[in-house]
Structure 1
């Protein structure tokens, strides 16, 4: 009797598994926004595998979806005469997927850029490098996160306004290959709420309008080093770190703008010694 019941149970489970497999086979594939994004952002331009050109580093599972670290590292092999002129960061499933576009100064030697982003749901994240010959190279990674674009601001509105546009700038010696390449690192921190437009005021229950830093430019003397066009995916209090090769310039100049037309500026003496 028991053996017959077990056989019946096994047969029943097998039938259920078969039905579930059939249901999964009939279910539509999850929507992949990337083909449409590629057409919209890059006009359908051809892209090559970028693993030999660019690396993207993000945690597989975010600890805090509102401040997910991302590092973009250039990997052009020695002897390649081309240069990376721009890098575009796309968070596919975010409400506004185009997170940022970075343009690199031709002679700045920028080889690494780090920032913090909001990730709204489980998603592919694409990084696309555009080279001086016009070719596009793409890499991607997958991040598990949820709700990063709607997390309320860490600071209240009054405090955020008091810190609005305050720029802090740090320079330091680059770890690792910095000694051999001559590269250094710099960090830019901008006081700004960078509201996404999806955050709800806990008192009024109304959504806080989008209000964010959408442009930033960095010069060393009059030579461009790095520029950024950003959207709502850049985290509160934008933070950018990048490596560069000193060219003998004497002074850094930074200018940032936000969506309400505010302009924030600062100048710092260029440091050359290790720290």
Structure 2
């Protein structure tokens, strides 16, 4: 099938790892994280921050709080990450998503966009194959992302919901896949700009991406993944088509093969 091009703005947002490489915005002490740590990762022990295992990049100040790019990377030879929890400390529902990764994505080079509702640490807690947990993150200045108005009218939302685009290129011997899914990912905090009524939460909750029978990544998400979510991921070349399975909180299911 012939694929429609992914908008240049989307590609530019995902291609840039933050606003500038020389601007440091390390995580700050967070009472919110101290309170939720046990519930989120099952232990009160603070995971170490170790850039030799992985790093997370995000802009110090977001241009759009509803579309904050997050770039997670590993250096060559780093231990494999089997699962990762993405947390925005100051969001109403702090756990943005829980990911699992297949071996083909190692070393990890993965990008996604999230909503940020207030100045906050944005952190990822990775689980390694041996069960160890390691953390990385950035402090992001953004506010109002969870209540920001949807970018399209309700008619447009319903007409395009579930449409997918997929693009793949090659870079340094790895395939670079970019997947976009049309979905408003309503947070439950937004208002219809016509009726001014609150729009109920409605978002992609489950996502599974495979190549042939091999899993690439899977996601269980909350309200903080952006509208029309985009995922960019590097992976080893594999056999067979890339297949996508998505399900939202209203029980709608979409399956597509590329």
TM range (shorter): 0.7 to 0.9
The answer as to whether partners of 1:110 and 1:242 remain within 8 angstroms in 2 is no
**How much has 1:254 moved relative to structure 2?**
0.7
- The C-alpha deviation readout for 1:159-199, integer Å capped at 9, x for no partner, is 0110010011110112xxx2xxx211001100001000000
* SS at structure 1 position matched to 2:205: strand
**How much has 1:67 moved relative to structure 2?**
0.6
The answer as to whether partners of 1:200 and 1:208 remain within 8 angstroms in 2 is yes
State the partner residue of 1:68.
Answer: 68
- Give the Cα separation in 1 of the matches to 2:30 and 2:209: 38
TM-score (norm 1): 0.80
Q: 1:188 and 2:182 equivalent?
A: no
Q: Which of 111, 115, 118 pairs up with 1:114?
A: 111
Q: RMSD of aligned C-alpha atoms?
A: 1.5
State the partner residue of 2:40.
Answer: 41
Greater fraction helix:
1
- Give the Cα separation in 2 of the matches to 1:152 and 1:185: 31
The answer as to whether partners of 1:110 and 1:245 remain within 8 angstroms in 2 is no
TM-score (norm 2): 0.85
**How much has 1:205 moved relative to structure 2?**
2.2
- Give the Cα separation in 1 of the matches to 2:190 and 2:107: 34
Pairs within 5 Å for 1:245-256:
245-247=236-238, 249-256=239-246
What is the aligned residue count? 229
* SS at structure 1 position matched to 2:39: helix
User: Which consecutive residues of structure 1, in runs of 5 or more, have no partner in the other structure?
Assistant: 1-29, 269-275
Q: 1:150 and 2:141 equivalent?
A: no
Pairs within 5 Å for 1:1-275:
32-44=31-43, 46=45, 47-75=47-75, 78=77, 82-109=79-106, 111-174=108-171, 178=172, 182-247=173-238, 249-268=239-258
- Give the Cα separation in 2 of the matches to 1:130 and 1:253: 25
- The C-alpha deviation readout for 1:68-104, integer Å capped at 9, x for no partner, is 11111123x53x6x42101211000001110111110
- Give the Cα separation in 2 of the matches to 1:131 and 1:170: 29
The runs of at least 4 consecutive aligned structure 1 residues that moved more than 4 Å come to none
User: Which consecutive residues of structure 2, in runs of 5 or more, have no partner in the other structure?
Assistant: 1-28
Which has more radius of gyration?
1
